[in-house]
Amino acid sequence: MADRIVSEMIDCKAVIDEVLSNDSGAVLTFAGTVRNTNLGRAVSAIDYHAYESMAGKEIEKLEDEIAERWPGVQARIVHRIGRLELGETSVFIAVSGAHREESFAALRHAIDRLKEEAPVWKREQYEDGSEAWLEGS
């Protein structure tokens, strides 16, 4: 099983492979990426920081919560830390289940709860050279 907090590029295929099974009728993914603007400001990069051991435990807890709430659904969540350039993937979630309805619900739950619970912070860097720490959702 891959780490949940990584400092290198996320291997999206490997994350998908971790949730695939013969029972999978739906395999869904979410990739959060660094975009070029936020709140009207031109972004050049984002630095992600985390309390790594706690963030990994929170992510594992969230994956377990999904499996309990939606029996038969598996989720894998990986968050990247460090400096990310425009277009790079900061978070990747793969969910598999027998049917799409519960798989979509689990995927939405995963990204929403991750942003609420995991101790991961981001500092945006702007084209003008300034930077700002941003609050979670």
Give the model confidence (pLDDT) of 8-58 as tens digits: 999 999 999 999 999 999 999 999 999 999 989 999 999 999 999 999 999
Domains of the chain with bracketed CATH: 5-128 (3.90.1170.40)
Q: Helices 52-69 and 100-117 sit at what angle, rounded to 10 degrees?
A: 150
pLDDT > 80? residue 85:
yes
User: Using CA atoms, how far apart are residues 54 and 51, in angstroms rounded to an integer?
Assistant: 6
- Are the beta carbons of 40 and 113 closer than 8 angstroms? no
Q: Which residues pair with 93 in a beta bridge?
A: 30, 77
Eight-class DSSP state of 28: E
- Give the model's pLDDT for residue 1: 60
Average pLDDT for residues 55-82, to the nearest whole number? 97
- Give the model's pLDDT for residue 86: 97
Confidence of residue 135 (pLDDT cuts 50, 70, 90): confident
Instruction: Return the structure tokens found at 102.
Output: 């519960």
Task: State pTM to two decimals.
Answer: 0.94
Task: Please write the tens of the pLDDT for every residue from 90-116.
Answer: 999 999 999 999 999 999 999 999 999
**Helix or strand (DSSP H, E) at 67:** helix 52-69
Eight-class DSSP state of 37: E
